[in-house]
């Protein structure tokens, strides 16, 4: 009995050992096969590293196992053939014969070669194997890539689209005597531009003799959308939502509500360059969707409110009085409606809240703090006068005097922060009638003419003199084209600075450690600009100007003018000597030279001009 069990155990053990051996053999066999496949794939990839994959075709033309240049050479005849094929468009029994070249469309051979070259070269191993396998089985046929001149496509197709389209008219809401009705529109038919573009692309790359039926779509469903919106719009008109701006409540106007619920008009039947497709260089338009709420109308209404409500922050203005800096205009925060968020809130209310509810919508408002606040008056560190500029303007016409006062007032009380560059144009702002300036004589394009803001240069000139005397770095300064008498009433020539926004500016920099306060005053015909700050020990030396190359003014010029009464003479330009004027300014501190610069002004000689009336 014992021997029998021993024999059975021996047989069982031998069987188990055989099974283990078979599994080992199978494992090693599978490993060998997989390894062989990878070695074969690697050899295949290596063999085609400079060639396209085997079996690849473009529009049925074989380009497998070719170099880039060979693919390009192979595709040229195909491109020529495709570009010469005739495409037929049909609509209601009328047909149009076109060729791709009429549309400005051609096969982009280089891009097509690039696309073919990328097949089977993916970094994703699975995708690389699948692409190469499909190509080898003739299951991967690429479509030639098209390029087009959008202007030519539009010029060729739009006349055809106009012939087959009837746009019709959109319905409209009519609100009269507190009653809302619909004025019906006229249904129309327009071309489905997206489908047409796709059909053209397919026909060019896969030509057949079958004509393309121009795809059309009706616009008559606009009436249904107007009718769908009518009940909810009527309810909102009876009980309009309230927009809340801080302490103000603003009911929405009924006319605005009507615009909110007016669906978009039917799409244009014409192609535009915005519809660019990756192949045809224009995108099909997005699927037209009728919306019950007009986002554009809502955004427009919110922007209208913002234009009325929004305010910019106001910086505090200061003045030096009795050795102390005082605030004479307090700072004020700016307020801005968040237009994007407000429009989204309003759309949500109109869409999701029943009109029977008294909807109050608080509009989100952003607060912008001013850069210079009133409380800074206590820690400005301004203690003394740094520099003063003075100019006279005796003989100025009333409008010029007004402009001098207006531009000077816009600088008065301004603080220039440490390290900040002060720009005259940026501070004074737009020089025009709409911003409050009047017409007076200015130098413009080599002539003295009446224009908005004449006299503003009196202020920039006086500020230039103050900055010079304060020893501050002058960043931008341009002399006038000719010597102006006003600026030499109390000064030698060469100490003027012209401005002409936005191209010609005057600017200086605050290179001190504390703010600089600009203060302007006008007494009689004298303008004074003072710069206050904290003295840092700098000393300023300005030489007497040298005048060279003086040129006598040309003889006076007399011009007939039929707009002036006969026998009347009117002077419009004044004579001035031409000259080159130079002076030098040196700024030192504790024996160190901070700035040493020569300021040069080249003035043209100028003739007097008189208008002689012939009227």
- 204-256 per-position pLDDT tens digit: 777 777 888 888 877 665 677 777 778 878 888 888 888 888 888 888 888 88
At 268 the pLDDT is 56
pLDDT digits (tens, 9 = 90+) for 425-463: 999 998 888 888 887 666 655 555 666 667 899 999 999
| Rounded Cα distance, 540 and 589, in Å | 9
Phi first, then psi, for residue 166 (nearest 5°) are: -135, 100
pLDDT at 34: 47
Name the DSSP letter for residue 93.
T
DSSP class of residue 123?
S
- The pLDDT score that the predictor gives to residue 283 is 28
Taking the C-alpha atoms of residue 112 and residue 147, their distance in angstroms, rounded to an integer, is 10
Question: Of 54, 254, 255, 280, which Cα lies nearest the Cα of 156?
Answer: 280
> What pLDDT does 402 receive?
92
Q: How far apart are CA 58 and CA 141, in angstroms?
A: 5
Can you give the pLDDT at residue 290? 37
Question: DSSP letter at 235?
Answer: H
Smallest Cα–Cα separation from 310: which of 246, 388, 360? 246
pLDDT reported for residue 264: 62
Cβ–Cβ < 8 Å for 605, 554: yes
Under DSSP, is residue 429 helix (H, G, I), strand (E, B) or coil?
Answer: coil
Say how far apart CA 570 and CA 503 lie, in whole Å.
Answer: 31
What's the sign of the alpha-carbon dihedral 447, 449, 452, 454?
positive
Query: Which parts of the chain have pLDDT scores under 50?
Result: 25, 32-34, 41, 275-291
**Hey, what are 413's tokens?**
């009380």
Q: With beta carbons less than 8 A apart as the criterion, state whether 107 and 74 touch.
A: no
What are the CB-based long-range contacts (under 8 Å, 24+) for 21-28? Answer: none
For the four alpha carbons of 23, 29, 30 and 32, in that order, the dihedral sign comes to positive
Q: Which two tokens stand for residue 454?
A: 């004449």
CA gap 363, 298 in Å, rounded: 13
Contact assessment for residue 612 and residue 558, using Cβ atoms and an 8 Å cutoff = yes
pLDDT computed for residue 287 by the predictor: 36
Alpha-helical (H) ranges within 263-338 are: 295-309
516, 416 Cβ separation under 8 angstroms: yes
What confidence score (pLDDT) does residue 13 get? 60
The pLDDT, as a whole number, for residue 467 is 97
Task: Please give the pLDDT value at position 491.
Answer: 95
* pLDDT value for 527: 95
Model pLDDT, residue 276: 35
């Amino acid at each position: 009995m014992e021997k029998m069990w021993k024999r059975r155990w021996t047989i069982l053990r031998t069987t188990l050992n055989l099974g283990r051996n078979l599994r080992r053999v199978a494992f090693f066999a599978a490993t060998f096969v997989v390894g062989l496949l990878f070695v074969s794939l690697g050899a295949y990839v290596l063999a085609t590293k400079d060639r396209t994959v085997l079996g690849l075709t473009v529009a049925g033309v074989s380009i497998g196992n070719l170099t880039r240049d060979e693919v390009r050479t192979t595709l040229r005849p195909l491109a020529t053939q495709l570009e010469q094929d005739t495409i037929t468009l049909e609509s209601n029994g009328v047909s149009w014969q076109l060729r791709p070249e009429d549309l400005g469309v051609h096969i982009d051979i280089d891009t097509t070669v690039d696309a073919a070259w990328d097949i089977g070269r993916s970094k994703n191993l699975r995708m690389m194997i699948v692409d190469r396998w499909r190509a080898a089985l003739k299951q991967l046929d690429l479509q030639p890539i098209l390029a087009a001149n959008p202007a030519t496509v539009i010029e060729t197709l739009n006349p055809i689209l106009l012939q087959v389209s009837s746009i019709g008219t959109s319905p409209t809401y009519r609100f009269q005597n507190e009653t809302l009705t619909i004025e019906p529109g006229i249904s129309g038919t327009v071309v489905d531009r997206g489908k047409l573009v796709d059909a053209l692309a397919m026909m060019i790359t896969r030509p057949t003799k079958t004509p393309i039926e121009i795809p059309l779509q009706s616009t008559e469903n606009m009436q249904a959308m107007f009718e769908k919106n009518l009940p909810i719009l009527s309810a909102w008109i009876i009980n309009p939502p309230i927009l809340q701006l801080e302490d103000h409540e603003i009911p929405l106007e009924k006319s605005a509500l009507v615009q909110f619920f007016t669906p978009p008009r039917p799409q244009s039947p014409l192609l535009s360059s915005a519809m660019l497709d990756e192949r045809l260089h224009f995108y099909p338009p997005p699927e037209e969707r009728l919306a019950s709420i007009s986002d554009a109308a809502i955004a427009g209404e919110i922007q209208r409110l913002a234009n009325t409500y929004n305010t910019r922050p106001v910086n505090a203005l200061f003045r030096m009085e009795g050795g102390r800096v005082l605030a004479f205009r307090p700072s004020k925060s700016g307020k801005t409606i968040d237009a994007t968020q407000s429009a989204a809130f309003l759309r949500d209310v109109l869409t999701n809240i029943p009109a029977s509810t008294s909807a109050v919508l608080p509009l989100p408002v952003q607060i912008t703090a001013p850069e210079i606040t009133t409380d800074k008056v206590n820690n400005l560190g301004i203690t003394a006068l740094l520099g003063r500029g003075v100019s006279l303007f005796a003989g100025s016409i009333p409008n010029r005097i007004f402009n001098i006062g207006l531009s000077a007032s816009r600088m008065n009380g301004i603080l220039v922060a440490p390290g900040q560059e002060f720009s005259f144009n940026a501070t004074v702002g737009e020089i025009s009638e709409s911003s409050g300036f009047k017409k007076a004589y200015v130098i413009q394009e080599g002539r003295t003419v009446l224009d908005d803001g004449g006299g503003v240069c009196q202020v920039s000139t006086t500020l230039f003199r103050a900055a010079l005397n304060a020893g501050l770095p002058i960043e931008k300064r341009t002399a006038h084209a000719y010597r102006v008498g006003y600026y030499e009433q109390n000064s030698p020539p060469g100490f003027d600075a012209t401005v002409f926004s936005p191209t010609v500016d005057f600017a200086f920099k605050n290179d001190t450690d504390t703010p600089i306060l600009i203060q302007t005053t006008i007494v009689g015909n004298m303008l004074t600009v003072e710069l206050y700050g904290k003295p840092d020990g700098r000393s300023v030396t300005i030489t007497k100007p040298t005048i060279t190359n003086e040129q006598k003014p040309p003889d006076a010029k007399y011009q007939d003018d039929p707009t002036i009464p006969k026998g009347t003479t009117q002077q419009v330009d004044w004579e001035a000597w031409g000259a080159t004027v130079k002076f030098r300014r040196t700024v030192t501190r504790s024996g160190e030279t901070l700035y040493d610069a020569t300021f040069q002004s080249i003035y043209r000689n100028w003739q007097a001009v008189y208008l002689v009336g012939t009227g």
